[in-house]
Amino acid sequence: MGRNTGTYNSYPNALLYYDAANGLMPLATNEYVNATAGDVASASFPAVSPDGNDNVRIPYATISDTSLHPLQLPAGDTAINSLFFDGNATNGVIGGGYVQFDVTAGATLTVKSGVVMLSGTASGASQPCVKLTVPTLRFGAGGTGAEGVISYFGNGNVGRWDIYSKLVGDRGLTLHDGNGGGATLSVYGDNSGLAGLMSFSSAADVIQVTHVNGLGSGTNPVYVANGTTLRAAASISGGHSQTAGSLAGGGTVRRGGGSCSLNIGGDGTGGAGDTVTMSSGGRLAPGDTNQPAWLTIRDFGSVALNGGTLAIDLFEPRNTWGGMNPVVYDRLVITGASAPAVTLGGLLSVALHYIPQVGDAFRIVDVSGATLTAGQFGNDVSITPKYGDRRYRFTVLYNSSEAGGDGNDVVVKCAAIILSGTTLVLR
C-alpha cells in the first residue's frame, strides 16, 4: 500500500493506523480519498464509498489559491471515517483562500471516527484557512458514538479555522489547537445536540465559541486546559446565557466582548450580561479532580457565585528540601481590565491531600483590583475537611490580606487539628 515507513514521531500531525509490527503509523496519502483538481473545478466533495469507511484528505497543494473553494456535499447524509486538510497553504489569506463545504439544505456529514484535522503549513503571508459550513457535522454513526476530535496543527501561522457546522454527538468534543500562535479557531454553531465533555486546549491561539448553545446542551462539563484561552463570546439570547454544567482546568475563560455572559449550572436561563453566574448544580473546579491548578476568569464585569460548588484541592506546601512548593493548591483567579464585582455564595468544598499544620494558609480566590467581595460561602467561616482519619478546622477568611492577598481575596487557613476518637477510661 506504500505506507509510510517512519515512526509516528516523524509525522506528528498525521492520521494514524495501528500496525502490529510497527505500532502507530501514519496513513500514506494513497490511503485517503484525495480531493482533486477535478473536484475543485466541479465544486464537488470527493466521491466516497457508501460504507462510510473512507478517510478523506483535502490537500492544499491541489486546491489552495486566493479564491473561495466550495465543495458541495450531496443532499442528505454523507458518511466518512475521517476528514483531513493538509499540505502547504501557498496562497491562503484571511477573507479568501478558504476551503468551504457549501451548504446543502439538510445535509449531514457524519464522521464515524470523530476525527477532523487541519494540518496546514505556510510561509510568509500565506495562511491556512478552512471554513467548515456543512449544516450538521455528526461524530460517530450507526448508534456507535464517537468523541469529536477537531484538531489544528500549524507552524506558528496566522490562519483561520472556522467551524460553522452544528456539531452533534453523544461523547463530547475535544478541540485541540497545536498551532504556534496567532490564529483564531472559532466554533459558531448551535451545538445543543452535542452531549458529553467539552474539552479545549490550545498552545497559543485563541479559541472562541460564539453561539449561545455553543457549549452544548447547557449541562456539558467544560474543561479548559492549562495555557488555553477560551473566549465565551455569546450574549444572552432568548433569555439564555451560554451555559456549562461545570467548569474545570487551568486555563482562562475570557469574556468575548460587550455583554457576553456565561452560566455555570442552572438551566441555562437567566444570568446577566458581562457576568459569570454560577447557579444550583454548577461546579467550578480549578485543575481536575485531585489535581491542582489556577483557573482564570477574565474580563467579566461581575462574577456571581450564587449557587453550586467551588471545589478546591490542597496539597503539601513544603517540599523535602525545606522550601515551599509552587502551585500546590487550586486557585480561582478573577481578573480583568476593570475591578470585577465578585459575589460569593454556594458551597466551598476543600479536599485535603496532605497532613496540614496549623497556620497553613492558601489564597484560593484571587480577585484583582481593590473592590471588596460581597457575601460568603454557605459554609460560613469555618470548614472541617478530612485527611485520613482526622479532620482539620480551616477558617475561611474573606477580603483577606493573608497568604499574599491584598485585602479582597479569599484565604483558607488551618486553625486547628480536631482531636477525636475513643477514650478508654480505666478504673
Q: Which residues bind Ca ion (CB under 5 A)?
A: 287, 313, 330, 367, 406, 408-409
**Please, which residue, 158 or 284, has the CB nearer to Ca ion?**
284
**By C-beta, is 54 or 313 nearer to Ca ion?**
313
Shortest CB 102 distance to Ca ion, Å: 44
Distance of closest approach, residue 325 Cβ to Ca ion, in angstroms: 15
CB 243 within 8 A of CB 264: yes
By the 8 A CB rule, do 405 and 411 touch? yes
- Residue 353 burial by CB count (10 A; 0-12/13-18/19+): exposed, middle or buried? middle
Decide whether 378 or 407 has the Cβ nearer to Ca ion.
407
Shortest CA distance to 86 belongs to which of 130, 38, 25?
130
Please tell me the distance from the alpha carbon of residue 332 to that of residue 328, in angstroms, as a whole number: 13
Give the pairing of strands 252-255 and 242-244.
Answer: unpaired
Q: Among the residues of 228-291, which ranges form H helices?
A: none
CB neighbour class for 109 (10 Å; exposed up to 12, middle 13-18, buried from 19): buried
- The rounded distance, in Å, linking the Cα atoms of 90 and 123 is 7
Q: How far is the CB of 26 from Ca ion (least distance, A)?
A: 36
Distance separating alpha carbons of residues 88 and 80, to the nearest angstrom: 24
Nine cell digits for residue 59 = 490537500
Give me the phi and psi of 213, to 5 degrees please.
-105, 25
Among 305, 312, 230, residue whose Cα is nearest residue 271: 305
Residue type, 139: F
Q: How many whole angstroms separate alpha carbon 360 and alpha carbon 395?
A: 11
Measured from the CB atom, is 290 or 320 closer to Ca ion? 290
Q: What is the DSSP letter of 10?
A: G
Question: From the CB of 287, what's the least distance to Ca ion, in Å?
Answer: 3
Q: Min. distance of Cβ 282 from Ca ion in angstroms?
A: 16
Q: How far is the CB of 406 from Ca ion (least distance, A)?
A: 5
Q: Are 194 and 220 in contact (CB under 8 A)?
A: yes
Closest distance between Ca ion and the C-beta of residue 370, in Å? 8
Residue number, nearest CB to Ca ion: 287
Report the nearest approach of Ca ion to the CB of residue 209 (Å): 23
Q: Are 342 and 334 in contact (CB under 8 A)?
A: yes
At 46, phi and psi to the nearest 5? -55, 140
Nearer to Ca ion, 70 or 287 (CB): 287
Among residues 212 and 411, whose Cβ is nearest to Ca ion?
411
Minimum CB separation of residue 267 from Ca ion in Å reads 26
**Cα angle 94, 84, 247; round to 5:** 75
Of 147 and 330, nearer to Ca ion (C-beta) is 330
Nearer to Ca ion (CB atom), residue 47 or residue 374: 374
Please report how close the Cβ of residue 288 comes to Ca ion at its closest, in angstroms.
6
The smaller minimum CB distance to Ca ion, of residues 77 and 406, is found at 406
The smaller minimum CB distance to Ca ion, of residues 64 and 400, is found at 400
- Residue 424: how many CB atoms within 10 A of its CB? 5
